[in-house]
């Protein structure tokens, strides 16, 4: 009697865990498959490479190009600063109160809503610096937004480098600075690269921070300079799925597919790299 | 000699200047965010009563009325709805990947969680408009399926990876000895999980839920596209609502820079910033405590 009761409650427990896990992941997988099925028919080389003559027809080269340029620019700004910040935290900073403050700031910065980054970019870059709504203003905004993610991942990558490597280098007479940049950073490179790729996916997918800083509803031409506005893939999807633009569902699914694929592939590369980096560092230790 | 000296000086400058300064970049960015949002927003209170802004329920910017309470309740409503859906799923998922799944399966599900976390919010919004909204409308016989309920469900899937991975971390941090003691006393695996392991990890789960709150309340594109956009104070989850984030994103494009409406939107941003800062700091403190406590137990 007793054992039976226990078995029943065990059954309920297992049922809960499995049902909830299924509820969490089945919609995800179903959605990915569905978007692939609905959108793939529209995707071909022409769709990707031709600029659209109007919103309803033609390719998505303009928003795709805008997203790539914006992402690259943001990384160009954010990666060097983040790397130096991570170097400071892992190699130089004493673990005092200031260290805790920086740590807490990074956690909080990561939690600031993306639309608040948009307001900030509008207030600082677009208005105060007078950059206007432009690629450069958008990139600087995105750079600030990706800073916490980059610093965190870089910091962990540098931390994972075994102490013995540093000691060996220092014992051979190398200065701390050259030990850091000739030994520690190169060893941590796979982890650093992982961070860069994760940030790429994040920037490419974000919409809210670019609304007021760079995104253009529709442009007949590609942006000619960094002070031009640009179409962006994520914002383009927002526009065609909310405004009555006469864009067909198939086209919407195709744009969704490209955006999801872009982010997904980039993320999977990062995950693969990270697991390899962990193994490699493990061997060094 | 002098060459060496010069390179010493260069090194010193790089270390004490460039590297150290970059270390504080995050602090600088946080302060800049605060400063520039206040710079654009605070003058609003020179022309509009702060009490009216916070507690009045009429958000009609075109007629100069900026009572933002409906936007706050809208944000709270979709956040609560999303948690009701997300928390059980996240706990189930965390228990599965931490306690039940074999290592290989655990790895796969952790990757799946990361994929879920990486799906852009605008894609969730699209999903809401094209599937979930019409489905909710038909199933419940409503005028519109774009409402708090639909937005809450989508937000749940966006908050889920955050909650589940923090909860997983907390479960992993529970010392093995606790589980072994429970099993050795004859408890079943499930009993051990629900009576021993999970309670021991509960503060971590709470920290995860709080991070999830921060995520959900700050989410913008999905709620703007799916929540329905009507600024009203309501307890009905099937009613269309408007959130703080959605209002900023939707209306900033239409305002004249520097006018009252523009400044009011910045004040909403400031409020949002303060709320998320509070929630995240609190969860950060809890997580920090767990990590320390864990170190203590191991030794």
Residues of A in contact with B265 (CB under 8 A): 119
A273 vs B: CB within 8 A: no
Q: What's the Cα-to-Cα distance from A60 to each of A55, A217, A223, rounded to whole Å? A: 9, 13, 14
pLDDT at A6 (0 to 100): 66
Q: Do B214 and A111 make contact, defined as CB atoms within 8 angstroms?
A: yes
Interface of A with B in 31-50 (CB under 8 A): 31
Question: Chain A to chain B, count of Cβ pairs less than 8 Å apart?
Answer: 251
| B98, B123, B215, best to mutate vs chain A, most A CBs in 10 Å | B123
Task: Tally the residues of chain B.
Answer: 299
Q: Helix or strand or coil: residue B251? A: helix
Give the whole-angstrom CA distance, residue B140 versus residue B158.
24
* ipTM, interface predicted TM-score of the complex: 0.90
Contact A109, B26 (CB under 8 A): yes
Residues 183-222 of A with CB under 8 A from B: 201-202, 204-208, 211-212
Question: pLDDT 10s per residue in chain A (285 long)?
Answer: 455 566 888 999 999 999 999 999 999 899 889 999 998 888 888 888 877 656 766 788 899 999 999 999 999 999 999 999 999 999 999 988 999 899 989 989 999 999 999 999 999 999 999 999 999 999 999 999 999 999 999 999 999 999 999 999 999 999 999 999 999 999 999 889 889 988 999 999 999 999 999 988 888 788 999 999 999 999 999 999 988 777 888 889 999 999 999 999 998 988 888 888 777 766 665
CB-CB neighbors (< 8 A) of B112 in chain A? 25, 28
CB contact under 8 A, A108 and B32: no
Q: Give the pLDDT of residue B257.
A: 86
Picking from A83, A79, A87, A284, the residue whose alpha carbon sits closest to that of residue A176 is A87
Contact A149, A169 (CB under 8 A): no
Secondary structure class of A189 (helix, strand, coil): helix
Burial of A53 (0-12, 13-18, 19+ CB in 10 A): exposed
- Determine the Cα angle at A280 with ends A277 and A282, to 5°: 105
* Contact state of A116 with B272 under an 8 Å Cβ cutoff: yes
Q: What pLDDT does B44 receive?
A: 95
Closest partner residue to A115 (CB to CB) among B91, B245, B277 is B245
> Rounded distance, CA B204 to CA B167, Å?
6
Per DSSP, which regions of B38-170 are E strands? 59-60, 65-66
User: Cβ separation of B284 and A13 shorter than 8 Å?
Assistant: no
Block means of pLDDT (10 residues each) for chain B, length 299 residues? 76 86 94 96 93 93 92 96 97 96 94 92 94 94 93 96 93 93 93 94 90 93 92 91 95 89 96 93 81 55
pLDDT of B147 reads: 94
* Per-residue pLDDT, A283: 66
Contact of B272 with B50, CB cutoff 8 Å: no
At residue A230, the 3 state secondary structure works out as strand
- Give the separation between CA A158 and CA A30, rounded to whole angstroms: 38
Q: How many CB atoms lie within 10 A of CB A16?
A: 17
Cβ contact A114–B93 (<8 Å) = no
Q: Does A244 touch chain B (CB under 8 A)?
A: no
Task: Say how far apart CA A270 and CA A276 lie, in whole Å.
Answer: 10
pLDDT at site A217: 86
Do B117 and A266 form a contact (C-beta atoms < 8 A)? no
pLDDT for A2 equals 52
DSSP B52: H
Determine how many CB atoms are found less than 10 A away from the CB of residue A276. Answer: 13
pLDDT at B226: 95
A108 touches chain B (CB under 8 A): yes
pLDDT at residue B296, rounded to an integer? 45
| CA distances to A161, A165, A187 from A175, in Å | 17, 13, 17
Tell me whether residues B191 and A206 touch, CB distance under 8 A: no
Question: CA A142, CA A248: separation in Å to the nearest integer?
Answer: 31
Cβ contact, residue pair B215, A108, below 8 Å: no
């Amino acid at each position: 009697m007793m054992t039976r009761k226990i078995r029943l409650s065990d059954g309920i427990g297992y049922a809960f865990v499995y049902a909830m896990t299924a509820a969490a992941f089945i919609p995800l997988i179903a959605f990915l498959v569905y978007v692939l099925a609905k959108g793939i028919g529209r995707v071909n080389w022409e769709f990707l490479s031709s600029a659209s003559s109007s919103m309803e027809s033609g390719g998505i080269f303009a928003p795709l190009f805008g997203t790539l340029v914006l992402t690259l620019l943001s990384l160009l700004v954010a990666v060097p600063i983040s790397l130096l910040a991570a170097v400071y935290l892992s190699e130089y900073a004493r673990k005092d109160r200031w260290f805790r403050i920086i740590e807490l700031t990074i956690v909080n910065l990561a939690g600031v809503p993306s639309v608040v980054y948009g307001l900030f970019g509008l207030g600082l870059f677009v208005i105060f610096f007078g950059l206007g709504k432009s690629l450069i203003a958008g990139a600087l905004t995105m750079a600030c937004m990706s800073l916490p993610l980059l610093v965190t991942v870089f910091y962990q990558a540098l931390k994972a480098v075994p102490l013995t490597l540093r000691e060996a280098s220092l014992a051979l007479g190398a200065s701390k600075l050259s030990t850091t940049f000739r030994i520690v950073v190169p060893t941590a490179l796979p982890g650093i690269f992982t961070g860069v790729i994760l940030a790429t996916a994040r920037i490419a997918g974000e919409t809210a921070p670019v609304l007021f800083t760079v995104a253009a509803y529709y442009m007949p031409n590609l942006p000619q300079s960094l002070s031009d506005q640009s179409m962006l893939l994520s914002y383009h999807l927002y526009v065609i799925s909310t405004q009555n633009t006469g864009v067909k569902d198939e086209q919407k699914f195709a744009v969704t597919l490209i955006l999801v694929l872009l982010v997904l592939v980039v993320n999977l590369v990062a995950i693969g790299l990270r697991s390899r980096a962990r193994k490699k560092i493990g061997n060094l230790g | 000699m002098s060459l060496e000296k010069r390179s010493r000086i260069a090194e010193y400058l790089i270390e004490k200047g460039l590297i150290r300064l970059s270390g504080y970049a995050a602090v600088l960015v946080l302060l800049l965010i605060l400063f520039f949002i206040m710079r654009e927003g605070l003058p609003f209170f020179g022309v509009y009563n702060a009490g009216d802004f916070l507690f009045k329920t009429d958000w009609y910017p075109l007629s100069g009325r900026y009572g933002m309470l409906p936007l706050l309740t809208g944000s709270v409503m979709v956040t609560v709805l999303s948690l009701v859906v997300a928390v059980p799923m996240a706990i189930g998922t965390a228990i599965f990947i931490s306690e039940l799944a074999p290592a290989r399966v655990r790895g796969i599900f952790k990757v799946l969680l990361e994929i879920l976390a990486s799906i852009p919010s605008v894609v969730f919004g699209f999903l809401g408009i094209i599937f979930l909204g019409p489905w909710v409308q038909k199933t419940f016989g409503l005028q519109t399926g774009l409402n708090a309920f639909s937005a809450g469900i989508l937000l749940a899937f966006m908050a889920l990876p955050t909650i589940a991975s923090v909860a997983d971390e907390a479960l992993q941090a529970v010392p093995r000895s606790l589980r072994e003691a429970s099993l050795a006393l004859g408890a079943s695996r499930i009993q051990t999980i629900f009576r021993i392991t999970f309670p021991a990890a509960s503060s971590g789960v709470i920290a995860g839920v709080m991070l999830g709150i921060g995520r959900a309340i700050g989410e913008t594109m999905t709620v703007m596209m799916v929540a329905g956009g009507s600024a009203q104070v309501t307890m009905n989850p099937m009613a269309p609502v408007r959130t703080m984030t959605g209002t900023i994103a939707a209306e900033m494009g239409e305002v004249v820079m520097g006018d009252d409406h523009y400044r009011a939107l910045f004040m909403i941003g400031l409020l949002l910033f303060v709320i998320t800062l509070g929630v995240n700091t609190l969860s950060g403190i809890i997580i920090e405590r767990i990590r320390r406590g864990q170190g203590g137990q191991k030794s």
